[in-house]
Chains A and B, each alone.
Chain A
Amino acid sequence: MGFSREEYWSGLPFPSPGNLPDAGVDCVFRGKLTLLCDAKTDGSFLVHHFLSFYLKANCKVCFVALVQSFSHYNIVGQKLGVSLTSARERGQLVVLEGLKSAVDVFFRPREEPHPLQFLREASAGDLQPLYAFVRDALEPVDGAEAAWRCPVLLVDDLSVLLSLGVGPVAVLDFVHYCRATVCREWKGNIVALVHDSGDAEDEESDVLLNGLSHQSHLILRAEGLATGFCKDVHGQLRILWRRPLQPTAHRDRSLTYQYKIQDKSVSFFAKGMSPAVL
Chain B
Amino acid sequence: MPRPFHVEGAGQWTVTPSEGVRRGTGRILGMLESLLALDGLVLLRDSVEWEGRSLLKALVKKSALLVYHDLFRDPLNWSKPGKAHPGGPLEALRDLDKRTGSGPATIALDSLSWLLHHLPCPTLCQTLHALSRQDSCPGDSPPGEQVRVLGLLHEELHGPGPLGALSSLAQTEVTLSGTMGQASAHILYRRPRQRPIHQTQWFSILPDFSLELQVEPPLESRPRSDPHTPSVDPTTHLTFNLHLSKKEREIKDSLTLPFQFSSEKQQALLRPGLGQATSHIFYEPDAYDDLDQEDPDDDLDV
- Interface residues of A, Cβ cutoff 8 Å to B: 126, 128, 131, 169, 172-173, 176-177, 179-180, 184, 206-207, 210-211, 213-215, 219, 240, 242, 244-249, 252-253
User: Which residues of chain A are near B183, meaning CB under 8 Å?
Assistant: 245
* Contact across chains for A206 and B73 when beta carbons are under 8 A apart: no
Q: Which residues B103-154 have CB closer than 8 A to chain A?
A: 113, 117-118, 154
Contact with A along B149-162 (1 / 0, CB 8 A): 00000101100000
Q: How far is the CA of A253 from the CA of B179 in the complex (A)?
A: 12
User: Which residues of chain B are near A211, meaning CB under 8 Å?
Assistant: 113, 117, 154, 157
Secondary structure dominating the interface of A: helix
Q: Which B residue sits closest to A216, measured CB to CB?
A: B48
* Contact across chains for B74 and A207 when beta carbons are under 8 A apart: no
User: Which residues of chain A are near B156, meaning CB under 8 Å?
Assistant: 206, 210
Closest-CB distance, A209 to chain B (whole angstroms): 9
Q: How far is the CA of A173 from the CA of B181 in the complex (A)?
A: 31
Would A246 and B10 be within 8 Å (CB), given that A128-B78, A180-B74 are in contact? no
Q: How far is the CA of A248 from the CA of B157 in the complex (A)?
A: 29
* Contact across chains for A246 and B74 when beta carbons are under 8 A apart: no
Sampled A-B contacts (5; CB under 8 Å):
A128-B78, A180-B73, A215-B10, A244-B53, A249-B181
Q: Which B residue sits closest to A210, measured CB to CB?
A: B156
* Contact across chains for A245 and B203 when beta carbons are under 8 A apart: yes
User: Which residues of chain B are near A253, meaning CB under 8 Å?
Assistant: 181
User: Which residues of chain A are near B73, meaning CB under 8 Å?
Assistant: 180, 184
B55 at interface by CB-CB < 8 Å: yes
B214 at interface by CB-CB < 8 Å: yes
Give me the 6 closest cross-chain CB pairs, A-B, nearest first.
A247-B204, A244-B54, A210-B156, A213-B48, A245-B183, A169-B117
Closest-CB distance, B62 to chain A (whole angstroms): 16
B164 at interface by CB-CB < 8 Å: no
* Contact across chains for B48 and A242 when beta carbons are under 8 A apart: yes
B68 at interface by CB-CB < 8 Å: no
* Contact across chains for B157 and A210 when beta carbons are under 8 A apart: yes
Closest-CB distance, B149 to chain A (whole angstroms): 20
